[in-house]
Amino acid sequence: MQRKLEIPGKKKPYLMAHRGNRTECPENTLVSFRHAFQDGADILETDLHLSKDGQFICIHDGTLDRTTDGSGKIADLTVAEIKSVSAFNHMTGFEQERIPLLAETAAILPRNVALALELKSDCFLEEKICQQLVAELKNAGILDRTIVLSFSAPRVFAVRKVEKDMPVGLITMKKIFPPADVDMVGPFFPILWANPWYIHAAHRAGILVCPLDPVPEPRLAGYLKRGCDAIITDNPAITRKAMDTLLGQAKLT
């Protein structure tokens, strides 16, 4: 039976931290991840590339240019070269932060927090890379609470080919109907208004819905009313407080 993304002891909707707490800290850094855990995130979302020497790197872009004081393509750099730059993302006080490896992220992941990995490179179409990823997640003891995500269906299904029980999710900017054969879908949020039956159709197919809306507060009440299964956010502290308030009010009515 296909494993679903379920977090023991936690109720939906789950709160998903988008690159950690990237409002208060540099995105995709260990300090950002730890901040998100303290904020009450149920799922940590981070991005994955592969270094020149074959290590999984938690960074959104394919280059160092935007978020560090360095430059160059991740795929052309070794871990030592990647670790030599500051991942401060132009935020004062974070100059000592470095881009984390997946192994470093896994090491600080609390037992009650799931991990969502967005696969950012076509290297994940390679069977040996998918095998390496699954093995690393197994060795870290977090495979059973990890989901792989992408805008590219072939990437996530390549991982599932290696690990048949791996939950997979697709992110979409355009498709107004839920995709088939996935466990989670991340539709760009206007899609939910263009197709009011989107969430109902997804749930009938056993698919979790997490709208792509990293600043969700203006639409949060609508997401909760419509039955979204997860809420993604750039600032989990703010969103957690708003969710708790709205859910508390719903219980009183």
pTM recorded for the entire structure: 0.96
Q: Is the pLDDT of residue 2 over 70?
A: no
Among left, alpha and beta (phi > 0; psi -120 to 50; other), residue 106 is alpha
Condensed to tens digits (0 to 9), the pLDDT of residues 57-94 reads 999 999 999 999 999 999 999 999 999 999 999 999 99
Q: What is the pLDDT of residue 251?
A: 67
Mean pLDDT throughout 94-121? 98
Q: Is the pLDDT of residue 113 over 60?
A: yes
d(Cα 182, Cα 176) in Å, to the nearest integer? 15
Q: Is the pLDDT of residue 1 over 60?
A: no
Contact between 16 and 32 under an 8 Å Cβ cutoff? The reply is no
Condensed to tens digits (0 to 9), the pLDDT of residues 18-55 reads 999 999 999 999 999 999 999 999 999 999 999 999 99
d(Cα 169, Cα 189) in Å, to the nearest integer? 16
Q: Categorize the per-residue pLDDT at 112 as very low, low, confident or very high, splitting at 50, 70 and 90.
A: very high
Q: What is the pLDDT of residue 69?
A: 97
Q: Categorize the per-residue pLDDT at 249 as very low, low, confident or very high, splitting at 50, 70 and 90.
A: confident
- DSSP H helix total and E strand total for the chain: 9, 9
**What is the sign of the dihedral through the CA atoms of 220, 223, 225 and 227?**
negative
Mean pLDDT throughout 132-156? 98
End-to-end CA distance of the chain, in Å? 38
3-state secondary structure of 173: coil
Q: What is the pLDDT of residue 253?
A: 58
Give the tokens for residue 34.
């730890």
Mean pLDDT throughout 168-175? 96
Unique residue bearing structure tokens 């900017």: 173
Query: What residue ranges define each of the domains in the chain, with the CATH number in brackets?
Result: 14-252 (3.20.20.190)
Burial of residue 159, with CB atoms counted within 10 A of its CB: 0-12 exposed, 13-18 middle, 19 or more buried: buried
- Cα 35 to chain centroid distance, Å, stands at 15
